[in-house]
Structure 1
Amino acid sequence: MDDYSPFDRGGGEKTDQTKTSNPFKRPYPPPLKPKPQETDAGTGWAPGTGPPTLSDVSSRPNTLKADAAKRDAVVDAFRHAWSAYEKDAFGDDEYHPISHRGSNLGSGGGIGYTVVDALDTMLLMGLESEYTRARTWVQEKLSFERHGYFSMFETTIRVLGGLLSAFFLTGDDLYKHHAADLGDRLAVAFDTPSGLPGSSVNLGGRTAMNGGAVSISEATTLQLEFRYLAEITGRVAFWHKAEKVMKVVNKARLPNGLAPITLNSNGEFAHSGIRMGSNGDSYYEYLLKQYIQTNRTEPVYLQMYGDAMQGVHAHLVSKTPAQGLTYIAELLPLADGKGGDWRSSWVSQPKQEHLACFLAGSLMLGATTAHRLDSSSPISRPPRMDALTGAGQRDWATGVAFLEGCMDTHKTKTGLSPEGVNFRTPADPPSERDWYIKGANKGGSLPYDARYMLRPEIAESVFLAWRLTGDARYRSYAWDIFSAIEAHCRLPGGGYATVRDVNQVPVEYEDKQETFFLSETLKYLFLTFADENVLDLSEVVFNTEAHPLPIFNPSIQPLFTKYS
């Protein structure tokens, strides 16, 4: 069964996808029309038409084949997580597997965060019965007429992103209809003097909580979703509202190319730190992915991304003194923000959140997409360094080394990586390892950084590294991660839970199964062991919640084109 695929992609005549109710019996749909003269040099396939059929990709040399046993073990884990949620809390936003109950994020009722976040994972895994029940819930129960405030950022990446990905994979207009409805309700958040979005939206009331500061990641991790929504609906306003945010950020940017984590309501950076973790991470991720999404037709994002990665290497990339582990430091402004120019004076902190580990795979992806010397020729696997620019060679080397540093944080009693670590510096006394969890082993309550909350970032980078190199060690890393999750997070009664201390066995749990466990962690692990043709990196871009969206040539004229 090594040629596993959830779809019958026999390469025959494509049907009218919007009229087909069973996505498991046909190829992916062609959701967008490309420019006819542009084709992929490796296959003759036109970018923007959706992933090719099996016959298109089977002739490619060195296609990565499935590890069926490990792939199916991940599918079983998804079933274990999903079936518990479906039994105890179907339709609720979040799931608490120890108390066997659900909860909602809005005071006026939920919007099915977990259901919508998991749709594309079920499609890719070929879970037909589970998907059918989930789709029925969307058709019969999903409503955004909820008079409660929902996070603009989380609702966009999880719910809007999930609907858009389901539409891309199936061509089912049910998902486009709901996505357009949700987009209309969320778009009011952009109606501010600066154009920066408010932090939360009352979906039923179509009002936003605007006027305050917003994190850089919350403001700039909406673009993939709203641009694709604009493309499939023809609603140009969706595109331009999200695009205006990037123009504001570009105008406010610092000389070092990096972005502090907080923006004032007037569109200027507030006195705040710089980090690749919470409130900062996905800004850098989406600089690259916006460039990839529109088939490398918008050089302004390549320029912003290139400057940002130069700043990362100049100010954030660090190594530990003993083991030489590569990590990404944080910066704190030296001045207090009331007097001197804090924007040009920083101090490095040897801290790193689990979230920052997305950057390892992102750097490798950027090296092979944004920094190829000849973008018209296929890239080898692994990439030849002489096919990359100097910046691409630098980014590739850093990505590979940084992923090794992230994997080192799995060297805990559970094999799970903690939420955050501090790295030792030359001023610290020698120790058996170059990092530690701040506040651990000091008695009292467990530090927040000691937990593992089913996060996907290291698994995401491992997946990208596997696809870009074909190196078996990355599949070994993925299996180690999955095995640790199975051993310590899986609950016998169903579901998976957050572990409160990765260095304590037996473990203590927190009663929470995050939606991103279904959408991201298990999806990336599945794709690492699945056949490459299940989802090809050259045809899709993942949003920050791991929802695959198509690469396309935009029919909408961008307004943000000038780099300053």
Structure 2
Amino acid sequence: MDVWPARAEAVRNAFMHAYSGYLEHAADHDELLPLSNGSVDNFNGWGLSVVEGLDTMWLMGFHDEFDDAVAFVANFTFALREDKYAPFFETVIRYLGGLLSAYSLSNDPLLLARADDLGTALLPAFSTDSGLPKYAVNTVNGKTANGWNAHTTLFAEGLSCQMEYKFLAFLTGRKEYYTKVEDIMELMYAMDLTATEGLFPTMFDSKNGTPATSQVSVGAFADSAYEYFLKQWLLTGQSDTKARDLYIRSANNIISTLLYLTPNRNLLYVTDAHMPHASPSHTFEHLSCFLSGVLALGANTVPAL
């Protein structure tokens, strides 16, 4: 008996149940609070759930809902109060990535136009001496703000914008989008990682681009940066060899330095450590769970060199 059609339909129904609840109780806000039927604006208050749901609606065949969502996005101005700031990392991966993903599936020019607007509004984040992005930017006046650790950029924050901005550069022909994020890749490619045994630290000085910590991790502060190394190579039709090399170098050092076995059941896990003597915390955090998928993708797409 073929169980997959029924399972697929169950997933479609689950999505529509959740999205319908959002529209009924939290429309125009970022997220639904399901226990209270309330709403919360954790990500700029622009209607995040709509944007993040666009590509899923298209893939699941919910085209009426998709069209309604595009009509909602058409009115986006990405406005913020003068004293508010959009977190660069979250806004790029959620809003800009969501718009570009939906455009790549539907070819709706309005989605590309809104992505272009947002990409431009976020560019002031790169106005540091090193080119590493600031934590947040006001999308109206261009002012920037530091995060909880002033004058630093997390590895994930600086290296999880290349996919979106390079694709946006390809679609619009705007070279600035490409150069802003490629300059960061060049910085990483040339960096001396001897002190951290070939692994990237989780934090950099946003003024001079040098490491600001001895901690290495694939969890919080780092996670998606390693994913973006591999996927940039795939995005460019396997032509960006520097991105490929950064992925291979990182993957090898993660495997040799951060993988451990639990003492009783011999379960493989990944942890973080402080270098140069690889003092591991032996903490396995949920944000590290992507690693097995990235390694599997790399094993199936990166040729032996």
TM-score in terms of structure 1 length: 0.51
**Match for residue 103 of structure 1?**
40
Please identify which structure carries the higher helix content. Answer: 2
Tell me which of 270, 294, 300 is aligned to 1:362: 294
1:247-396 aligned at under 5 Å gives the runs: 247-255=186-194, 256-265=197-206, 266-333=208-275, 344-370=276-302, 372=303, 389=304
Give 1:129-528 correspondences, 5 Å limit. 129-139=64-74, 141-147=75-81, 148-209=84-145, 212-255=151-194, 256-265=197-206, 266-333=208-275, 344-370=276-302, 372=303, 389=304
State the distance in 2 between where 1:317 and 1:103 align: 38
Question: When the two structures are aligned, how many residues end up with a matched partner?
Answer: 297
Of 17, 24, 28, 1:80 maps to: 17
Shift of 1:253: 4.3
CA distance in 2, matches of 1:143, 1:250: 36
Is the contact made by 2:99 and 2:111 (CA closer than 8 Å) also made in structure 1? yes
Q: Which residue identity lines up with residue 281 of structure 1 in the other structure?
A: D
- Displacement, 1:322? 2.5
1:524 is aligned to none
Q: Distance in 2 between matches of 1:153 and 1:164?
A: 15
Offset at 1:361?
A: 0.9
Point out 4+ residue stretches in structure 1 off by more than 6 angstroms.
Answer: none
Worse-superposed segment, 203-212 or 303-312: 203-212
- Structure 1 letter corresponding to 2:89: F
CA contact (8 A) 2:70 2:111 kept: no
Q: Distance in 1 between matches of 2:139 and 2:42?
A: 12
Q: Which has the higher contact order (CA 8 A, sep 6+)?
A: 1
Q: Distance in 1 between matches of 2:151 and 2:31?
A: 27
- Residue 94 of structure 1 is matched in structure 2 by 31
For residues 115 and 70 of structure 2, what CA distance do their matches in structure 1 show?
Answer: 14
Distance of 1:181 and 1:350 partners within structure 2: 43
Give the drift of 1:213. Answer: 0.4
What TM-score do the two structures reach when normalised by structure 2?
0.92
Residue 94 of structure 1: how far off its partner (Å)? 2.1
Given residue 143 of structure 2, which amino acid in structure 1 is its aligned partner? T
Q: Which whole-Å CA distance do the structure 1 matches of 2:76 and 2:32 have between them?
A: 17
Say if 1:262 and 1:269, in contact at 8 Å, map to a contact too: yes
Displacement of 1:178 after TM fit? 0.3
SS at match of 2:290: helix
Q: Secondary structure in 2 aligned to 1:91?
A: coil
Please state whether the residue corresponding to 1:214 is helix, strand or coil.
Answer: strand
Q: Is the 8 A contact 1:123 1:131 kept in 2?
A: yes
CA offset digits 1:128-170 (Å, max 9, x no partner): 232222122112x322122320110000000000111111111
Q: Which residue of 2 aligns with 1:125?
A: 60
Over the aligned positions, Cα root-mean-square deviation in angstroms equals: 1.8
Deviation at 1:365, TM superposition (A): 0.5
Tell whether the 8 Å contact from 1:189 to 1:198 is kept in structure 2 after alignment. yes
Equivalent-residue separation in structure 2 for 1:160 and 1:180 (angstroms) = 9
CA distance in 2 between partners of 1:156 and 1:249 (Å): 20
Deviations 1:329-374 (A, max 9, x none): 21024xxxxxxxxxx233012111111110101101101111x3xx
Aligned residue identity for 1:145 = A
CA distance, structure 2, for counterparts of residue 251 and residue 196 of structure 1: 15
- Measure, in 2, the Cα distance between the counterparts of 1:230 and 1:313: 34
Q: 2:167 aligns to what SS in structure 1?
A: helix
What runs of 5+ residues in structure 2 fail to find an aligned partner? Answer: none
In 1, the alpha carbon distance for the partners of 2:174 and 2:46 equals: 23
1:545-560 alignment to 2 at 5 Å?
none
State the secondary structure of the residue aligned to 1:318.
Answer: strand
Seq. identity, %: 36
